[in-house]
Amino acid sequence: MSETLTQAQIDFYGQSGYLILERRVPDDIMDAIRAEIVRFENQARGMTVSDDKIDLEDSHTPDAPRIRRVKLPHTQSEVIADLMRSDHILAPVRDLIGPDLRLQTTKLNMKSAGYGAAVEWHQDWAFYPYTNDDVLAVGLIIDDMGPENGPLMVFPSTHRAGVFNHHHDGAFVGAMDLAAEGLNMADAVPLMGPAGSISIHHARIVHGSALNRSTQDRRIIFYEMMAADAFPIACGRGKWEGIEEFDSRMLCGQPTLEPRITPCPVRAAFPDGPTQGSIYEVQKAMGKRSFEVIS
């Protein structure tokens, strides 16, 4: 018995690897989140380099602050943490991957009007394979998202296609050469909707987004999570700091000491590439880019 999704939505997710649920989060929570973003922007004023809380755009200066990403925003904002644990976010996820859920990570990707950086095509699974593939990301759409302001784009059903090559020159660069992998940009689907909508994408679906040249911001919080019986595989980058820390990331339901193991494609996310840090830095070492970078 599902909590909120129809059987048609559950089947669509299984087949296509993504969903959009329009106007899922109430306006008062969205307003509170926007107020938190203003606080982060004030925090970035005066910063000269990225730190463990805020990742800066390459074009950032201390006087004209430009945030690319707020890292682990649920640890920096009660509003964002409370929403993460609410039924607005968790009910549809429980319908897709069961009642016991654990957090992988969170991030707030800003993609600000005029200069917000692209994220090259990749599968989250290439970074963090697990023992089973009940692993997904919920994206909270903070600004109305249309074709022009850098929507997240996905290649439908690629979560069923295996794991693609994310290496270049023998190192893990967290990005794919689309043509070399046999994919055509024209087949990608933008995940759009009004502010307060959420997207859900499977960890193995191929996704990315373009530079935001428009006059509209495109901010998304990603809450990435998995079934509690999915444990990280050692040749990936899923965080493992011991069982206490792992269990401290339970979002709902019960933890377990028995990983569920299902056959899943895996490629090691090593050796390290020459650029390290956030995905934007790691992907700088890739070969043929699909998206423009700001000059």
Binding positions for ligand AKG, rule: CB under 6 A: 107, 109, 111, 119, 152, 207, 209, 220, 279
Q: Which is nearer to ligand AKG, 9 or 209 (CB)?
A: 209
Q: Which is nearer to ligand AKG, 55 or 100 (CB)?
A: 55
CB 29 within 8 A of CB 77: no
Smallest distance from ligand AKG to CB 93, Å: 17
Q: Which is nearer to ligand AKG, 71 or 260 (CB)?
A: 71
Smallest distance from ligand AKG to CB 154, Å: 10
Q: Which is nearer to ligand AKG, 100 or 128 (CB)?
A: 128
Smallest distance from ligand AKG to CB 148, Å: 14
Smallest distance from ligand AKG to CB 137, Å: 8
Sign of the C-alpha dihedral computed for residues 107, 111, 116 and 121 taken in this order:
positive
CA distances from 165 to 31, 268, 271 (A): 40, 10, 13
Q: DSSP letters of the chain?
A: --SS--HHHHHHHHHHSEEEETT-S-HHHHHHHHHHHHHHHHHHTT--S--SSEEE-TT--SSS--EEEEESGGGT-HHHHHHHTSHHHHHHHHHHH-S-EEEEEEEEE---TTTBPPEEEE-HHHH--BSSS-EEEEEEE-S-B-TTS---EE-TTGGGS-----EETTEE-S---TTTTT--GGG-EE--B-TT-EEEEETTS-EEE--B-SSS---EEEEEEEETT--B-TTS----S-HHHHHTTEEES---SS------------SB-S--SSHHHHGGG-SS-SS----
Smallest distance from ligand AKG to CB 196, Å: 17
- Residue 39 has φ and ψ, to the nearest 5°, of -60, -45
Smallest distance from ligand AKG to CB 25, Å: 18
Smallest distance from ligand AKG to CB 208, Å: 7
Question: What is the number of the residue whose Cβ is closest to ligand AKG?
Answer: 209
Alpha-carbon span 295 to 286, nearest angstrom? 17
Smallest distance from ligand AKG to CB 89, Å: 17
Q: Which is nearer to ligand AKG, 9 or 109 (CB)?
A: 109
Q: Which is nearer to ligand AKG, 24 or 207 (CB)?
A: 207
Q: Which is nearer to ligand AKG, 174 or 196 (CB)?
A: 174
Q: Which is nearer to ligand AKG, 119 or 230 (CB)?
A: 119
